[in-house]
Amino acid sequence: MTATDTTSPGPVLSLRNLTIALPAGADRDHAVEDVSYDVARGEILCVVGESGSGKSMAANAIMGLLPKGVRPVGGRALFDGQDLLSLTEKQHRQLRGLRIGMIFQEPMTALNPLMRVGAQIAEVFEAHGRLNARERQEQALALLTEVGIPQPEKAIRAYPFQLSGGQRQRVMIAMALALEPELLIADEPTTALDVTTQAQILELIRDLQARRDMSVMFITHDFGVVAEVANRVCVMRHGRIVELGDAETVLKHPRHAYTRALIEAIPSDVIPEARGAETDTALLEVTGLNKVFRSRGGLFKPAREVHALRDVSFSLVKGETIGIVGESGSGKSTLGRCIVRLERPDSGHLSLSGTDFMHLTGEALRRERHRVQMIFQDPYASLNPRTRVGMAIAQGPIANGVARGKALARADELLELVGLGGTADRFPHEFSGGQRQRIGIARALALNPELIVADEAVSALDVSIQAQILELLEELKQKLSLSLLFITHDLRVAAQICDRIIVMQHGRIVEQGPARDVFLAPREAYTRELLDAIPGREHELADA
């Protein structure tokens, strides 16, 4: 290895004018067009872009894993002097795993659920005819130790479902590294993970890269992640390279307007001045709320109990925005669902401007529902695919006794308000994710609710779209003096829009206070841990 290093300082992989054609009828002709970049030996190259920018396509072409109908039509992808695009499937298989490793976004679906972790790692050696059965197990154990899985002797016998998301991603990394590839392609490997886990995985990748002197091609949408790991950055948009250069240069002095826009769209550490609440009357009062989920036990398995909420208390003043922040499993979504009464809390007290909202049931609950509305997370699942969007917005008022014509006219106005005027008779699939989220907001506004609960309302969106939606919410808040409960896993997003922040962990409230205080001077260790885990934070603080 060292011998080749000195003789060939050239890149491990170099793409030259790569063009990949999409099938006819797609929204553009080429997934990537005229793309050239190098991955040098021992560097981490980050390929950044929003969804649909073609950032993953090039990686798929390199691995010979392009979807049906998509094919490279021009350019070359040189790996060690070989053009990867001209390889046969069999030759590709020789390279995959052996010389080019790959890790994917979703560690659950990338692992075989019915196979023990050790066997899956051993399979990598087996596929390339390496080692005997015992050595494979030994190697698997060594790899699991190297990627830092706690209790590797136990983990080797575990099934994927017994591991956490971060641990599964570590297994994936172990598999990718098994045959000591020269190039590791990581396609959004941390996107599905919590911030603290993400920070650990990034650390691991950086560490392994340095120890093994690998080259890494790291595909991500998150400039924070770029700031953490990248040596060089390649920014892509609509299948073309917008900017390519050193991480330092690109992050600090982006030349292209699009890169600048992307970097600016990241919620910054600069927290807007908190506005004082208009009144002191509590709109929402939550006291000692508890919720336990019980799974029905089977014949041979005991019933399982999960405490989603433990003794949660807080209150929200009219016109105020409270952010509820926590990692997955912290109970933040359950809290939101209890407040809008999609779930029924087990005990405690829940009142909305004096009305007991907790013990309402059936018809009485249905009649009061218009007072609290929700904006959902997934813009693709929250609209009925067979209902025109105008109708989707009008359905609420109609259900509450407004005449159909009047409700539809109001829907038009609301669409106008969220910036989608004149689109009432279209179906949801004709809109992009960000536009659908606007429609979801219009639907929540249609009933003039006293309180809106936004459950991860911007998490599924690209950063630039995310910034636009946050801006819209901010604008609506001022215009309509909304009271908002903003549930998110992203502390920085919360800090942008919220007056007060509540941090949750394991169903309990860990810390609550004004956004500024929680963000800049956290009192609890857990909050600090969350803050430190945010990728790219150091870079930004140094910048400020």
Q: Kindly report the number of other CB atoms within 10 A of residue 161's CB atom.
A: 10
Q: Does 387 bind other proteins (CB under 8 A)?
A: yes
Please say which residue, 169 or 334, places its beta carbon nearer to other proteins: 334
**Edge-to-edge strands, sheet with 282-295:** 304-317, 282-295, 347-352, 355-356
Query: What is the smallest separation between the CB atom of 362 and other proteins, expressed in angstroms?
Result: 10
Q: Kindly report the number of other CB atoms within 10 A of residue 134's CB atom.
A: 8
Q: Does 395 bind other proteins (CB under 8 A)?
A: yes
Q: Does 367 bind other proteins (CB under 8 A)?
A: yes
Query: What is the smallest separation between the CB atom of 289 and other proteins, expressed in angstroms?
Result: 19
Nearest to 156 by CA among 136, 179, 183, 180: 136
Residue from 148, 396, 507, 536 in contact with other proteins (CB under 8 A): 396
Binding segment toward other proteins, per CB under 8 A, in 39-47, 373-381, 490-498, 533-541: 373-381
Nearest to 262 by CA among 414, 406, 465, 476: 465
Nearest to 486 by CA among 266, 254, 325: 325
Please say which residue, 81 or 362, places its beta carbon nearer to other proteins: 362
Residue ranges in 93-112 that form contacts with other proteins under rule CB under 8 A: none
Q: Does 447 bind other proteins (CB under 8 A)?
A: yes
Q: Does 389 bind other proteins (CB under 8 A)?
A: no
Query: What is the smallest separation between the CB atom of 27 and other proteins, expressed in angstroms?
Result: 12
Place of tokens 């106005």: 413
Please say which residue, 260 or 366, places its beta carbon nearer to other proteins: 366
Query: What is the smallest separation between the CB atom of 446 and other proteins, expressed in angstroms?
Result: 7
Binding segment toward other proteins, per CB under 8 A, in 33-41, 86-94, 218-226, 440-448: 440-448
Residue from 29, 180, 213, 430 in contact with other proteins (CB under 8 A): 430
Could you write out the three-class secondary structure of 214-258? CEEEEEECCHHHHHHHCCEEEEEECCEEEEEEEHHHHHHCCCCHH
Q: How far apart are CA 515 and CA 11, in angstroms?
A: 46
Q: How far apart are CA 424 and CA 392, in angstroms?
A: 9
Q: Does 164 bind other proteins (CB under 8 A)?
A: no
Binding segment toward other proteins, per CB under 8 A, in 283-291, 346-354, 411-419, 424-432: 424-432
Query: What is the smallest separation between the CB atom of 476 and other proteins, expressed in angstroms?
Result: 18
- Confirm if 544 and 269 have CB atoms less than 8 A apart: yes
Q: Does 137 bind other proteins (CB under 8 A)?
A: no
Q: Does 374 bind other proteins (CB under 8 A)?
A: yes
Alpha-carbon Rg for the chain in angstroms:
26
Q: Does 429 bind other proteins (CB under 8 A)?
A: yes
Structure tokens at 223: 């400039």
Please say which residue, 89 or 363, places its beta carbon nearer to other proteins: 363
Q: Does 139 bind other proteins (CB under 8 A)?
A: no
Q: Does 28 bind other proteins (CB under 8 A)?
A: no
274-307 burial code (b ≥16 CB/10 A, e <16): eeebeeeebbbbbeebbbeeeeeeeeeeeeeeeb
How many distinct helices (H) and strands (E) make up the chain? 22, 20
Residue from 289, 383, 457, 509 in contact with other proteins (CB under 8 A): 383
Binding segment toward other proteins, per CB under 8 A, in 42-50, 226-234, 386-394, 528-536: 386-394
Q: Does 342 bind other proteins (CB under 8 A)?
A: yes
Q: How far apart are CA 169 and CA 123, in angstroms?
A: 17
Residue from 237, 369, 410, 477 in contact with other proteins (CB under 8 A): 369
Q: Kindly report the number of other CB atoms within 10 A of residue 170's CB atom.
A: 27
Count Cβ atoms within 10 A of the Cβ of residue 437 and give its class: 0-12 exposed, 13-18 middle, 19 or more buried: buried
Q: Does 340 bind other proteins (CB under 8 A)?
A: yes
Residue from 55, 96, 443, 500 in contact with other proteins (CB under 8 A): 443
Residue from 231, 382, 496, 512 in contact with other proteins (CB under 8 A): 382
Count Cβ atoms within 10 A of the Cβ of residue 487 and give its class: 0-12 exposed, 13-18 middle, 19 or more buried: buried
Query: What is the smallest separation between the CB atom of 363 and other proteins, expressed in angstroms?
Result: 9
Please say which residue, 392 or 501, places its beta carbon nearer to other proteins: 392
Nearest to 218 by CA among 173, 265, 268: 173
Q: Does 372 bind other proteins (CB under 8 A)?
A: yes
Binding segment toward other proteins, per CB under 8 A, in 91-99, 231-239, 300-308, 361-369: 361-369
Q: Does 197 bind other proteins (CB under 8 A)?
A: no
In single-letter form, the type of residue at position 109 comes to T
Count Cβ atoms within 10 A of the Cβ of residue 70 and give its class: 0-12 exposed, 13-18 middle, 19 or more buried: middle
Binding site for other proteins (CB under 8 A): 340, 342, 366-367, 369-370, 372-374, 376-378, 381-387, 392, 395-396, 399-400, 427, 429-430, 440, 443, 446-447
